[in-house]
Amino acid sequence: MRKFSITKILSVLLLLGLLFSYAPQTARAEIAAQPAVTIEEAVLQDMQANGSASYFIEFAYTADLSPAYAMNWSDRGWFVYETLKAQMETSQAAVQAYLSNAGVEFRPFWINNSIFVKNSNATVLFAVQDFEGV
């Protein structure tokens, strides 16, 4: 009878230990999956010296252009243009809306999925970092 209760207690403790050791590992995996945004030192120095800076925002999303290889020259050009432009419109929409509402001048580029921001302050710079895909 005593052997049975010790085995039962050890089994419960082992299961609890496995359960608690598993939970922190999944939390660490989620944190590691979020890439960090890098700001160039020159932008930070310009921001500190002048109170504003101009910079490019690069987006992580890239379009799949592999179907273009099977197309003729004319169709390929239009396919690449339309695909890259659609990717830009999708991935940059939230950032463009934010910049417009903040009254910041910017210019989007579809060719490399980026935005040139002209003379924004530090508040805008650091807020843009939090958008998905930046």
Give tens-digit pLDDT for 95-109. 999 999 999 999 999
pLDDT at 10 over 80: no
Mean pLDDT of all residues in 5-29? 51
In angstroms, the Cα distances linking 36 to 56, 69, 132 are 16, 33, 11
Which of 9-23, 36-50, 71-85, 103-117 shows the lowest mean pLDDT across its residues? 9-23
How far is Cα 33 from Cα 67, in angstroms, rounded to an integer? 29
Q: Which residue has the higher pLDDT, 118 or 9?
A: 118
Token output for 133: 């895909």
Mean pLDDT of all residues in 87-95? 93
pTM over 0.85: no
Closest by CA position to 129, among listed 37, 34, 30 = 37
